[in-house]
Amino acid sequence: MWKILAFTAGVAIGSAAFAESGPGFSPVATEACLAAMTDSQDPTTCIGSSANHCMETTEGGWSTYGMSQCLDQERDYWDQRLNAAYKAVRASRKATEKEMADLGSAAPSQGDALKNMQRAWIAYRDATCDYERSLWGGGTGGGPATVSCLMYMTAEQALYLEADGLVE
């Protein structure tokens, strides 16, 4: 019982310190990293740059709560990019399908394939991150590990869809 109360008090103190201090999250570090990339470099190396900056510059940023907050904010950043990329790719595929139909093509639907791929990816991401959490055996590190997994996988998918050349 004391461990639960001590942990709860620690989270409350860590949460208050995190919320009241430092600059918090900004995507600037990630965007700067991506902007500096050359064609031969791997953009996935930029994933986590802003979350790490958030943890380093925010009081309480390296607490379990702080890490989860910084990682989740970068996950949200990548999720917004993913949604924009998906929307752009989907619109492009629909236009391509219309052109193909006008030509009398019986090619399979790219839009349907994209939608099915994305749905399968969501299930894969969720199962992978559930497994990641299980590796922590119920410990407090499971929360940040799960959010980190979600952030990395979401970022990788966003970059994959953006690489289609339709999103700048």
Report pLDDT for 165: 61
Q: How many domains does the chain have?
A: 1
- Indicate whether 167 belongs to any domain: no
Query: For the stretch 32-67, what's the b/e string if a residue is b when 16 or more beta carbons lie within 10 angstroms of its beta carbon?
Result: ebbeeeeeeeebeebbbbbbbbbbebbebbebbbbb
- Indicate whether 168 belongs to any domain: no
CA distance 58 to 159: 27
Report pLDDT for 30: 95
Length in residues, the chain:
168
Report pLDDT for 4: 31
- Indicate whether 101 belongs to any domain: yes
Report pLDDT for 167: 57
- Indicate whether 74 belongs to any domain: yes
Mean pLDDT, 10 residues at a time, the chain of 168 residues: 31 42 78 94 96 93 92 97 95 88 86 94 98 92 95 97 73
Q: Estimate the crossing angle of helix 142-162 against helix 64-102, to 10 degrees.
A: 30
Range of the domain at 158: 2-162
